[in-house]
């Protein structure tokens, strides 16, 4: 399948080495879901965004969590918001013929960046929208891009973009210009996340052998440093304001667990250890907790959002419907 793929982890019996990036997800029978075709007119006619409704329902109060959801009944992803204290998630986008995924809050909490895409490899790129509803804008030059991450100063956006057969990390102004390519490798560089001071990025680098490690790059010099070791299966890092990098690792158990590490590679600590797949961690604004996705052995296995303290305690299930809840981002 040529379309960009979401990151999925090995479950120990029916996943690949963990470096498949999926936008179309593969079910238990191995048949990928195909998307409805997207044209410019379809985007223009999509149902209006209603992010402002989240405030009325209480989900956008304080520091809400935005995430992507799909289910058997609604197989095209939309964005939702939920309060970290619980309650019913509020649907933010209503686009039945396109998928909205990979949300990222702006640092002031006034806009959300996300990826919008269609079928047959037609990736429409990165968009932003107001949290009060409307204000939909495409980020120029991001066709085919994924993994948007808003800079701490709110002026730039980092993302992964295809170059030949692999993906590289770029940074651009939030208006799409000028775009600067940061990495030049034969591997896939994915899921950038900003340091608190905005001077560096962490990301995961996936090689042809199926391994992935967390890397760090300094924007001023483009000097790169490995944060985690070779031969690892480390994915989807998120850099906290407390200067710790959380990520998901498929370890010797065969399951994906959450870990954190200091940016210099020291202080590696495992957060979760259950016989489940835990992925896509996102730090709370104060760096004390994480939201993440648990589940996903196949499309018949729901994936729910959970909260956990950085020390591994106070595990709480946040969403409970028969759905796949993915790529959560906690509002700064």
Sheet architecture: strand order including 269-270: 234-239, 245-250, 256-261, 269-270
Whose CA is closest to 115, among 133, 95, 90, 89? 95
* Bridge partners, residue 99, by sequence: 117
Which sign does the torsion angle of CA 110, 240, 123, 326 carry? Answer: negative
What gap in Å lies between CA 305 and CA 324, rounded to an integer?
Answer: 9
Q: Any idea what the Cα angle at residue 200 is, between residues 196 and 204, rounded to 5°? A: 105
Token pair listed for 310: 């950085």
Using DSSP, state whether 144 is helix, strand or coil. Answer: coil
Per-residue pLDDT tens listing for the chain (332 residues): 233 334 433 222 222 233 333 333 323 222 233 233 333 333 333 444 455 555 444 444 579 999 999 999 899 999 999 999 999 999 999 888 899 999 999 999 999 999 999 866 556 899 999 987 688 999 999 999 999 999 999 999 999 999 999 999 999 999 988 999 999 999 999 999 999 999 999 999 999 999 999 999 999 999 999 999 999 999 999 999 999 999 999 999 999 999 999 999 999 999 999 999 999 999 999 999 999 999 976 667 899 999 999 999 999 999 999 999 999 999 99
What gap in Å lies between CA 31 and CA 295, rounded to an integer?
Answer: 20
| Boundaries of every domain in the chain | 5-330
pLDDT score of 331? 96
pLDDT score of 170? 98
* Chosen CATH of 5-330 out of 3.30.300.30, 2.120.10.30, 3.40.50.2000, 2.40.50.140: 2.120.10.30
Sheet architecture: strand order including 137-138: 99-105, 111-117, 123-130, 137-138
According to the 3-state scheme, what is the secondary structure of 6-46?
EECCCCCCCCCCCCCEECCCECCCCCECCCCCCCHHHHHCC
116 contacts 99 by C-beta, under 8 angstroms: yes
Token pair listed for 287: 């760096």
**16 half-sphere exposure, CB direction, 13 A CA radius:** 16
What gap in Å lies between CA 70 and CA 82, rounded to an integer?
Answer: 15
What values do phi and psi take at 175, rounded to 5?
A: -90, 5
What gap in Å lies between CA 205 and CA 51, rounded to an integer?
Answer: 33
What gap in Å lies between CA 328 and CA 305, rounded to an integer?
Answer: 8
Q: Any idea what the Cα angle at residue 133 is, between residues 91 and 107, rounded to 5°? A: 95
């Amino acid at each position: 399948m040529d379309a960009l793929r979401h990151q999925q982890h090995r479950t120990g019996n029916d996943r690949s080495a963990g470096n498949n990036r999926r936008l179309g997800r593969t079910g238990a029978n191995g048949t990928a879901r195909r998307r409805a075709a997207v044209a410019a007119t379809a985007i223009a006619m999509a149902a209006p965004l209603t992010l402002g409704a989240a405030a009325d329902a209480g989900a956008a109060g304080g520091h809400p969590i935005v995430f992507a959801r799909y289910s058997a009944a609604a197989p095209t992803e939309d964005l939702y918001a939920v309060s970290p204290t619980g309650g019913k998630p509020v649907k933010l986008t209503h686009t039945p013929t396109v998928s909205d995924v990979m949300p990222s809050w702006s640092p002031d909490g006034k806009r959300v960046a996300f990826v919008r895409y269609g079928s047959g490899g037609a990736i429409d790129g990165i968009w932003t929208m107001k949290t009060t509803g409307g204000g939909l804008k495409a980020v120029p030059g991001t066709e085919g891009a994924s993994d948007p991450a808003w800079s701490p100063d709110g002026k730039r956006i980092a993302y992964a973009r295809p170059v030949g057969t692999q993906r590289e990390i770029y940074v651009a102004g939030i208006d799409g210009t000028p775009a600067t390519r940061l990495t030049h490798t034969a591997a896939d560089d994915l899921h950038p996340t900003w340091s608190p001071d905005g001077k560096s990025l962490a990301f995961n680098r996936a090689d042809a052998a199926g391994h992935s490690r967390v890397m760090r790059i300094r924007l001023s010099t483009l000097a790169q440093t490995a944060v985690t070791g070779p031969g690892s299966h480390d994915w989807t890092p998120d850099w906290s304001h407390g200067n710790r990098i959380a990520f998901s690792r498929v370890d010797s158990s065969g399951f994906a667990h959450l870990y954190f590490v200091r940016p210099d590679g020291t202080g590696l600590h495992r957060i979760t250890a259950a016989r489940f797949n835990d992925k896509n961690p996102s730090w709370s604004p104060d760096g004390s907790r994480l939201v993440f996705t648990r589940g996903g052995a196949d499309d018949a296995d729901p994936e729910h959002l959970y909260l956990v303290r950085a020390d591994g305690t106070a595990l709480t299930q946040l969403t409970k419907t028969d759905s796949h809840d993915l790529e959560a981002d906690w509002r700064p």
